Amino acid sequence: MDSIIVEGNGPLSGQIPISGAKNTCLKLMTAALLSEEPLTLTNVPRLSDIRTLSTLLESHGCEVALLQGGRVMVLSAREITNRRADYEIVRKLRASFNVLGPLLAREGEAIVSLPGGCAIGARKVDLHIMALEKLGATITLEEGYVHATAPDGLTGAVIEFPFVSVGATENALTAATLAKGTTVIRNAAREPDTVDLAKCLVEMGAKISGAGTSEITVEGVDRLHAATHQVIPDRIEMGTFMIAPAICGGEVELLGGRRDLLEAFCEKLEAAGIDITETEAGLKVARRNGAVRAVDVTTAPFPGFPTDLQAQFMALMCTAEGTSTLEETIFENRFMHAPELIRMGARIDVHGGTATVTGVKGLTGAPVMATDLRASVSLILAGLAAEGETTVARVYHLDRGYERIEEKLSAVGAKISRVKADG
């Protein structure tokens, strides 16, 4: 397996382009199954997760073509040739489970593998199933697969989630576009990913209102048509690269960055002593004179502080002045990066869903191991600020969500390189 070697090298300076949003793009890709006509996506990130989902869509009969070096994707599902999503693909990528709603809505049947657990917790699918049953589907679980049928089509209904679930909201949203009548989704996810999916569906001919609020209304239509849609910037990549000059010093401009996608995160960075300025090209981030201040964080669904930036913020807090408390409310087991940061000299105490971080004067490079996607990049960020060399092993996680990270960080002065598995 490849490794990343990072060496502390002082302040950063320059520009970093922000790629299209991975999580958004994955859900947009599943929407292509709803229509016989092609869906064209632009600003597509070139990541392994995108390739994995492309393979699954092709197994359903969807043709996937990449243009302009992979930045443009054309998906054409003129005919669904297979209604089964196999475990061998779904287990690699949880977002694969979101083919369930589109397949069921269009074909009246879908057989989709349960995605299983993952390194950051079980992440159940019971709300997905509840939502589709509200729309009239009959669902059974057999040998690890969800069997969903609606031979006469789906029917609009009121779906009220007991708590916010991004994936379940999006499965319900896509399914409801072709349902008969009106669907109301209450306690809906408000994430930018969900809003962008709704926008794309409207461009395809769906009738949706309320996206971005806690109540979404969908008026079912008979069919959807061709559309071209630009994927929004990746707010998690953006937040990650905002941490880089915060932890190392210096000033970096994030091309395509948008504050509205990360307002709660930006407020916490500013409270820690980081300057954030909107520019014509995006966002400029700079660390003020003096040490970073400790700031408490509690993760929450959008518009709150994103769970996918908790690990990166913890890396920043490791050398902040004072003691910070990070509370994780979204997923269990999401502090697995803490022991690796401790190997670098950090002072972190984890009790259940809360981590207490006492800032130290400096970190020291060490061999560390990535445990999941966001944990892997938190170790790279820590390595940028550490004295000496840090080797991050098992970085295949990294390639799922960060495009050309070594190139982007090297371009602003970081000392970072990849060592291939064969040496």
**H or E, element range at 391:** strand 389-393
Check if 118 is active-site. Answer: yes
Q: How far apart are CA 115 and CA 352, in angstroms?
A: 25
Q: Do the Cβ atoms of 22 and 49 come closer than 8 Å?
A: yes
CA pair distance 318, 307, nearest whole angstrom: 18
Does 223 appear as a known binding residue? Answer: no
Cα torsion through 25, 29, 35, 39, rounded to 10: 60
User: Per the annotation, does 418 bind a ligand?
Assistant: no
Closest-CA residue to 141 (of 128, 155, 159): 128
247: left (phi over 0), alpha (psi -120 to 50) or beta: alpha
Q: Is 308 annotated as a binding residue?
A: yes
Annotated binding-site residue? 94: yes
Copy the structure tokens of residue 118: 């993952």
Q: Are 283 and 257 in contact (CB under 8 A)?
A: yes
Separation CA 404–CA 190 (nearest Å): 29
Q: Which of 25, 62, 118, 266 is catalytic?
A: 118
Spatial distance between the Cα atoms of 326 and 4, rounded to a whole number of angstroms: 26
d(CA 198, CA 219): 12
Per DSSP, 374 falls in state: H
284 is in an annotated binding site: no
Q: Report d(CA 272, CA 211) in Å as an integer.
A: 32
Residues annotated within a binding site: 22-23, 94, 308, 330
Residues annotated within a binding site for phosphoenolpyruvate: 22-23
Residues annotated within a binding site for UDP-N-acetyl-alpha-D-glucosamine: 94, 308, 330
Active site residues: 118
